[in-house]
Structure 1
Amino acid sequence: MDISEHYMQLRLKFQHIQDDQELHITIGELAGHLCCTMRNMNLIMNKFKENGWVSWSPQRGRGKKSVLVFCKPAAAAASERFDQLLYANRMEDAYEMASSLPPLIREQLVHNLQHLFGLRSNEGMEGRTDTLRIPQNTPFKTLDPTQTAMWGEGFIITEVFDRLVRYNAERQQCEPSLAVAWESDREGRRWTFHLNKGILFHHGRVMDASDVKFSFDRIIEDPANPSRAMFASIQSIEAVDSLTVHFVLCQPNFMFPDLLSSLYASIIPRDVQMEPLRPIGTGPYRITRHDANLLVLEAFPSYFRGRAYIDRVEVWQLPHSDWPENAIKQRLFPEDTPRAVEHEIQGGVFMTFNMQKDGPHQDLYFRQAVRLLLQSDELTAASASPHIKKAESLIRGPMREVRTIAPSVERDAVQTESGRSVLEQAAALLEQSSYQGEHLRVWVEEGEQMESDMAWFAERCAAIGLNVTIVPGDPVHAVYHHELQPYEIIYTGEVFDEHVMRSLITMYTFGNTLFLLAMNDYWRAELAHECEHIVMIREPALRMERLIQLEDRLIEEALILPVYSFKEEHAHDASLRNYKIAGYGLPDLRQLWIRRKSGSLTAEESSETETSYPVYIPLW
């Protein structure tokens, strides 16, 4: 054990003793507190004295107590040891130590974390190195692009892998990426993609058509692969030559290039076994470390679109608690006003039901009653958060200006019982349903806002005699460990990327979305059938109209109860340029660059080898 750990352990044993206050105690009693021998305790005390941490006046003779005075404040000792552990990449030890500290000292450590995150620019013998450090408190479960269901994982995957095509959100069209061009027949059943030359995987081999074939065969030949339904129209794949790939589909699919632009269609090497936590791709960043504490991405110098500007990205796994997030966000910018980037997330928060489980929630009247209890205008008013807004759909903007089908739940309830309150209408629907007073469990995605929503919802349920228990849960465990089975009601959210139409297809067909995990075989088949017909439509506007109609049907069946949309706010130093929000509401690292501070710096500051640029990226 490090000498500073001994000091912290002893100092915390006597939290009630003030600094510079005399403590009368024997060397034997001290040895007992540190579980060591008296001889070792004397050696430890000498080290304390050498460091100036204590004043120690030993007294000779039986029964006489020595005088100990703590000179180093506990907060200072904790901060010093915390930083030592972090810089040694012993994050688990650092967090374990922090969790054992009194709240005030722990809060101070959180405050000190601000200098560790953001972007740091260092001048060294080999030139300048720019490192972006991002905090996160949810460990990555998988970075296999065909399996991932978490938006933080998707953020990493989009930097490690490329797809045949990429989607340009500004132009709203697919553009070349690994493929330089493509064409199809008039029926949209035969697609040929022509690959770029000389593209390297991170392990040094040139990508060819066989890698593309391998990547999709891996999906469509595995019945358990959650991405399989998205690419179910693929009948066969042929590597015509090293730079040409031919797809034959079993039915027309005019969204085929769009689907191939999704992260689930990332191209992987055929000659390397997939390591879910350290995969190999062709992207601008390669993974050089990934363990329980730290994920490191380093710029791939041979990237075919040009080397990324940021040299290194570190994602630090913080303890699984809420205390670091707000503190880091509030204190990263103690003096300067940050440049804020506000982004409205496409998708939103909604409630659904576990249709794989028997219970009263299988009854439409019951689900209608829940819909009325979950009146989103009242919930958002009760929340008073400036970042959320009532939503009647997961689709927003020009695509969703006019609802094509009014949801009958609200229409019928309000028109037939307009003189009654919402709670009275909900109670009447509950009475009509098969609910017999059962105790139902509500799974809510853990987080302050959503747990607060469900506390409000539970009060509404109690008012009409609906017995519910709210259980916060980790979405990672819910998806990858199938932990939704015991719950009747599910409160979660869906985050779309910039291609909303493709995101909707994904939500209804990708097997690892929380929504699809909650659906039974009937609804999964219905959704797959609908999406098969939607991708056969040639005109994008008509496809979008059909997707809106499909969502309206799900809302009418009270299988999706939209509650609100929300905004994320990024904050960064003005020196970071081209900070643009891309897929899943996260920054596009491929575009980010730094204008190093100059001009206004003092001579002392300009001579420093390291410059810090605060950044807050909500990768939670």
Structure 2
Amino acid sequence: MEVIEHYMQLRMAFPNAGEEEEIHTTIGELAEHLCCTMRNMNLIMNKFMNHGWVNWSPQRGRGRKSVLIFCLPLLQAAQERIDQLLQGNKLEEAYMLVSALPFSMRDMLMQGLQGQFGLRSDQSARGRMDTLRIPQETPFETLDPTQAAMWGEVGIIAEVFDRLVQYNAERQVCEPSLAVAWENNQEGTVWTFYLHKGIRFHHGKILDAEDIRYTFDRILSAQESPCRPLFGSILRVETLDELTVRFVLRFPNYMFPDLMSSMNASILPRDIEMDPMHPIGTGPYQLTRNHPKLLVLDVFPSYFRGRAFIDRVEIWQLPQSGLVESVIKQNLFPDGQARLVQHEVQGGIYMTFNMRKEGPQQDLYFRQAVQQLMNSQEMVEALARTSVQAAYSLVRDKPEEQRRTEQKQKNEPTQQCEHLNFPEQSENDPLFLTQEARKRSEPSMDTSLVRANKLLQRSCYAGQIMKVWVEEGEKMEADMVWFAQRCEQIGLKVHVMPGNPVNAVYHDEFASFDLIYTGEVFDEHPTLSMLTMYTFQNTLLLIALDDQRKSQLENECRHVVMIQDSTERLRMLIALEKGLIQEALLLPAYSFREEHAHHASLQDYRILSFGMPDLRRLWVKRSSIANGDTASYPAYIPLW
């Protein structure tokens, strides 16, 4: 331990004492605080005094008090030590040091570490080493492709594994990946894939058809596998030879190649048991370290599509910074010379209900009341965020006319749903007064609140407190402050509690809650994303949904994959979403946009659907004015 770290250790032992304040203590107590002998304690204290950090008047003898005065503030000492560590490229030690400090100064120092993120290029006798450091605030629970549901987890899986097929979002077609080609029978019930030769897993094994069979048998044989319904059309998997695998289906599935591009369909080696925190795949990066604070991906030199450019990727678990995005960017790019990349996140933020729990949320009228309270346009206008827009669907690429129609329908109360038999409502009901009539009769309240109030009065709600689970984070928690204020205006009692989505997905955190406020991120394939949302059991929507409705969705999705026309499949899935919205089980709030910023030397910076740069394409044009053997190229990757 460096002497300044000894000083910080002793300084934190007296948190209530100020600088230049006399502290009366014994030599034995000081030795105990420094975790050393009294002899070593004297040596250390003399070093402190030589640096001018303390004044110390030792008094020897049992029970006699020495006088200690601290001169160097703890924050200043910490900053000096952190600067030393960062100069030596010891980010991990700097991070661990900051993590051990009092909470009051931890956030300030964490902000200083932001500048370490981005790309660092080091030149040595062994050659050039390019390392990309990315901050992440959601801990990893699993990297098993059949289980993972968090954005960050999916991002790692995308780099560690490959799939038989890859989806080209620019061309909107499935293209070869591990499979060089595939074919199917006319009925869409038999699909045959032909594998590339010589593809290696990270541990050296050559990929063959038995690995494909093992991957899908593992899914289908586990009754509790959350992605089993997604691949429910598979009857059996046959290996015709070492490079040919055949899937025999229970029913026609014309989306089968698309399913093979899903992250859930990532191919595993059959000769080694799956470790959910240290997986082995065939991807361009291999996982070499997974610590609670740091995950490291090193380039896989034998990747069958060619070696990736970036040598190492470090994913750091950092708490959410208190700084606003504009300040962070200013710190990273003080001269303003950053390239900005806009990323329209597919999917969006929504509210749903815990339909596995008894309560007013089982009543359509109550859910419709909440639907009116969650008026997306009014929320967006009230919160005045430039990066969001009101959403009436989780699909962004709908025709504008369709979006306008749905917005109008959302602002009108739902009369009766197609799938469930709810009480019919009369056209003479006050609920169906025109907007103008409502404004004349209720001038003190806006129309959505009037509708919400009438629906609430008609529901079975009896004044109980409704527990609202909100995905933790400054923005979504602010949304629920606005929502709670609206609830108060019509007499709906709510108690909002932030929660960790990792615990919600993997540890049933919101079992006791009534309302759920979260989000869903889609990838570049909206049809597959919606199908996954309705069948992959680890999506938050399905975790909250009752078994009967989940079964209905699964059956509807079975009919969707039987459709040959891709446009018609998407239309049918959007119709399913519309049904959920009509039943007030899915309440879209808004979609959002992220803005990445990066140094101009980072070339081909493209953002994938889960918010990370595409590491398979990213490369570095090292600056000609870089000083010495080390060059840093900052990048700002937003944390939602």
Q: TM-score, normalised by structure 2?
A: 0.89
Change (3 A) 1:331 1:88: closer
Count of residue pairs the alignment pairs up: 608
Structure 2: how far apart are the matches of 1:294 and 1:543?
A: 41
CA contact (8 A) 2:120 2:632 kept: yes
| Residue identity (%) | 55
- Shift in Å, 1:108: 4.2
Change (3 A) 1:30 1:484: closer
Aligned to 2:470: 444
Structure 1: how far apart are the matches of 2:506 and 2:456?
A: 33
Kindly provide the amino acid, as one letter, of the partner of residue 550 in structure 1. L
CA contact (8 A) 1:348 1:394 kept: yes
Per-residue CA deviations over 1:437-482 (Å, capped at 9, x if unaligned) read 1211011011111101111111111111111100110000000001
Structure 1: how far apart are the matches of 2:360 and 2:373?
A: 16
CA contact (8 A) 2:111 2:321 kept: no
Instruction: Tell whether 2:570 aligns with 1:544.
Output: yes
Aligned to 2:30: 31
- Shift in Å, 1:582: 1.8
Instruction: Tell whether 2:155 aligns with 1:138.
Output: no
CA contact (8 A) 2:346 2:609 kept: no
Structure 2: how far apart are the matches of 1:405 and 1:97?
A: 51
| Worse-matched range after superposition: 33-42 or 499-508 | 33-42
Per-residue CA deviations over 1:363-416 (Å, capped at 9, x if unaligned) read 111111001111111111111111111111111124565157788663247743
Change (3 A) 1:400 1:520: farther
Aligned to 1:259: 259
Aligned to 1:197: 197
Listed as ranges, the matches of 1:391-540 within 5 Å are 391-398=391-398, 401-402=401-402, 410-412=411-413, 415-418=432-435, 419-420=437-438, 421-540=447-566
- Shift in Å, 1:581: 1.2
Structure 2: how far apart are the matches of 1:363 and 1:343?
A: 38
Aligned to 1:580: 606
- Shift in Å, 1:417: 4.8
Per-residue CA deviations over 1:73-107 (Å, capped at 9, x if unaligned) read 43331124446778283577424323x15x3x445
| Worse-matched range after superposition: 122-131 or 133-142 | 133-142
SS in 2 for 1:614: strand
Kindly provide the amino acid, as one letter, of the partner of residue 30 in structure 2. A
Kindly provide the amino acid, as one letter, of the partner of residue 189 in structure 2. R
Aligned to 1:616: 636
Change (3 A) 1:263 1:196: same
SS in 1 for 2:271: coil
CA contact (8 A) 2:374 2:483 kept: yes
- Shift in Å, 1:343: 0.7
Kindly provide the amino acid, as one letter, of the partner of residue 410 in structure 1. N
- Shift in Å, 1:248: 0.8
Per-residue CA deviations over 1:238-266 (Å, capped at 9, x if unaligned) read 01000001111111111110111011000
Aligned to 2:275: 275
Kindly provide the amino acid, as one letter, of the partner of residue 361 in structure 1. Q
Structure 2: how far apart are the matches of 1:531 and 1:63?
A: 79
- Shift in Å, 1:138: 1.7
Change (3 A) 1:169 1:114: same
- Shift in Å, 1:342: 1.1
- Calculate the aligned-residue CA RMSD, in Å: 2.7
Structure 2: how far apart are the matches of 1:432 and 1:97?
A: 54
Change (3 A) 1:467 1:571: same
- Shift in Å, 1:569: 1.2
Change (3 A) 1:95 1:225: farther
Aligned to 2:161: 161
- Shift in Å, 1:11: 3.5
Instruction: Tell whether 2:363 aligns with 1:363.
Output: yes
Structure 2: how far apart are the matches of 1:24 and 1:415?
A: 75
CA contact (8 A) 2:184 2:191 kept: yes
Listed as ranges, the matches of 1:80-119 within 5 Å are 80-82=80-82, 87=90, 89-90=92-93, 93-98=96-101, 100=102, 103=104, 105-119=105-119
Per-residue CA deviations over 1:479-528 (Å, capped at 9, x if unaligned) read 00011210111111100000011000000000000001111111101110
Kindly provide the amino acid, as one letter, of the partner of residue 89 in structure 1. E
Structure 1: how far apart are the matches of 2:23 and 2:98?
A: 32
Q: Among 584, 592, 602, which residue is 1:566 paired with?
A: 592
| Worse-matched range after superposition: 447-456 or 22-31 | 22-31
| Worse-matched range after superposition: 69-78 or 280-289 | 69-78
Kindly provide the amino acid, as one letter, of the partner of residue 545 in structure 2. M
- Shift in Å, 1:275: 0.4
Change (3 A) 1:541 1:51: same
SS in 2 for 1:134: strand
- Shift in Å, 1:277: 0.6
SS in 2 for 1:402: helix
SS in 2 for 1:583: coil
SS in 2 for 1:552: helix
Aligned to 2:441: none
Structure 2: how far apart are the matches of 1:143 and 1:78?
A: 35
| Worse-matched range after superposition: 402-411 or 488-497 | 402-411
- Shift in Å, 1:220: 1.2
Give structure 1 stretches of 5+ with no counterpart: none
CA contact (8 A) 1:23 1:68 kept: yes
Change (3 A) 1:261 1:25: same
Change (3 A) 1:107 1:546: closer
Aligned to 1:229: 229
Structure 1: how far apart are the matches of 2:303 and 2:285?
A: 8
Instruction: Tell whether 2:300 aligns with 1:300.
Output: yes
CA contact (8 A) 1:348 1:564 kept: yes
Structure 1: how far apart are the matches of 2:531 and 2:485?
A: 35
Structure 2: how far apart are the matches of 1:401 and 1:154?
A: 34
Structure 1: how far apart are the matches of 2:179 and 2:160?
A: 17
Structure 1: how far apart are the matches of 2:448 and 2:353?
A: 21
- Shift in Å, 1:67: 7.1
Aligned to 2:7: 7
Q: TM-score, normalised by structure 1?
A: 0.92
| Worse-matched range after superposition: 568-577 or 64-73 | 64-73
- Shift in Å, 1:51: 4.0
Structure 2: how far apart are the matches of 1:399 and 1:245?
A: 40
Aligned to 1:217: 217
SS in 1 for 2:206: coil
Kindly provide the amino acid, as one letter, of the partner of residue 146 in structure 1. T
Give structure 2 stretches of 5+ with no counterpart: 415-430, 439-446
Structure 2: how far apart are the matches of 1:358 and 1:364?
A: 13
Change (3 A) 1:14 1:397: closer
Kindly provide the amino acid, as one letter, of the partner of residue 122 in structure 2. N
Instruction: Tell whether 2:181 aligns with 1:181.
Output: yes
Structure 1: how far apart are the matches of 2:191 and 2:15?
A: 73
SS in 2 for 1:188: coil
CA contact (8 A) 2:294 2:315 kept: yes
CA contact (8 A) 1:351 1:492 kept: yes
- Shift in Å, 1:33: 8.7
Structure 2: how far apart are the matches of 1:91 and 1:386?
A: 35
SS in 1 for 2:402: coil
